[in-house]
Amino acid sequence: MTAQSGSDVMAFSTVKVLTTHQWNTGLFSFSVERPTSFRFVSGQFVMLGLMVNDKPLMRAYSIVSPFWEESLEFLSIIIPDGPLTSHLYKIKHGDEILLGAKPTGTLTMDALIPGKRLHMIGTGTGLAPWMSIIRDPEIYERFEHITVQHTVRQIEDLAYRDLLESQLANDPLVAAEAKQQLSYDQSVTKCPTWIHENRRITERIACGDYPLDPAIDRVMLCGSMAMIKETGAQLEALGFIEGAHSHPGTYVLERAFVG
């Protein structure tokens, strides 16, 4: 998912950084200007990057912002020696980065057939697309109940925790709906002081503590390759069918991040 040639830069625009926020030593978020022509669907990703050694270095990033927001927000890990993030995490207000012209991705509502309950399962920065989707009024019309399931290693990895625990209490469009229909289910696997759920989502599904029924449940997956592949296999064994824009199903995953 990296732009390889100088001509690729023509597919991108240059935007200014508006805000940055470091959640911990390995995780940060940032917002940038949104071009007036930029349109996206909740759950999509876009290519982001910087000019490194006079070449555009790009990676796919899910959009955190709701579709109506005037700026674009993103969540990123920090890899000190990473080709892109070793530079990206140093950005500050007023700096410029590259923004892809065409958002895309399979984590959208039109890739799922109708159901009653939507489970958005993510690990680490796989939370990002869920933050966009849960602020889209359409999701509350399509599903009776929506769950954001976020698995991380440490408590400080629970980005946007306050916003999720408040059930979007101050959201201008969906506060009332989220209060009734949205649940936040987090699991912290490597913190001995965490007294709540500490198992990986795949363990919980395997033992039946996170029940899923293809007749009524719809599932979205985003995060580590290991989690997506293992959870996808579990869903298939339960009778779920992977969906896409051309043939909606009972669960979807983002293959751009799976490889």
The secondary structure of 69-121 as a DSSP string is -SEEEEEEE--TT-TTHHHHTT--TT-EEEEES--B-S-SGGGB---SEEEEE
| Residue range 105-130, pLDDT digits in tens | 999 999 999 999 999 999 999 999 99
Question: Tokens 């005037």 sit at which residue?
Answer: 70
Give the burial string for 67-93 (b: 16+ CB within 10 Å, else e).
beeeebbbbbebeeeeebbeebbebee
* Predicted pLDDT of residue 217: 98
* Predicted pLDDT of residue 122: 97
> Is residue 7 predicted with pLDDT exceeding 70?
no
Q: If phi over 0 gives left and psi between -120 and 50 gives alpha, with beta otherwise, what is residue 31?
A: beta
Lowest mean pLDDT of 77-86, 107-116, 237-246, name the range.
Answer: 77-86
| Residue range 143-191, pLDDT digits in tens | 999 999 999 999 999 999 999 999 999 999 999 999 999 999 999 999 9
What is d(CA 115, CA 1) in angstroms, rounded to the nearest whole number?
Answer: 32
What is d(CA 184, CA 63) in angstroms, rounded to the nearest whole number?
Answer: 19
Instruction: Kindly list the domain boundaries of the chain, sorted by start residue.
Output: 6-100, 109-257
- φ/ψ of 102, rounded to 5, equals -125, 100
Read off the pTM: 0.94
* Predicted pLDDT of residue 256: 74
Question: Which of residues 1 and 234 earns the better pLDDT score?
Answer: 234
* Predicted pLDDT of residue 10: 53
Share of the chain above pLDDT 90, in %: 92
> Is residue 259 predicted with pLDDT exceeding 50?
no
Which CATH number, 3.20.20.10, 3.40.50.80, 3.60.10.10, 3.30.465.10, labels domain 109-257?
3.40.50.80
Mean pLDDT of the chain: 93
Q: What confidence category does residue 225 fall into, taking pLDDT thresholds of 50, 70 and 90?
A: very high
Q: What confidence category does residue 255 fall into, taking pLDDT thresholds of 50, 70 and 90?
A: confident
Which CATH number, 3.40.50.300, 3.30.40.10, 2.40.30.10, 3.30.450.40, labels domain 6-100?
2.40.30.10
> Is residue 8 predicted with pLDDT exceeding 90?
no
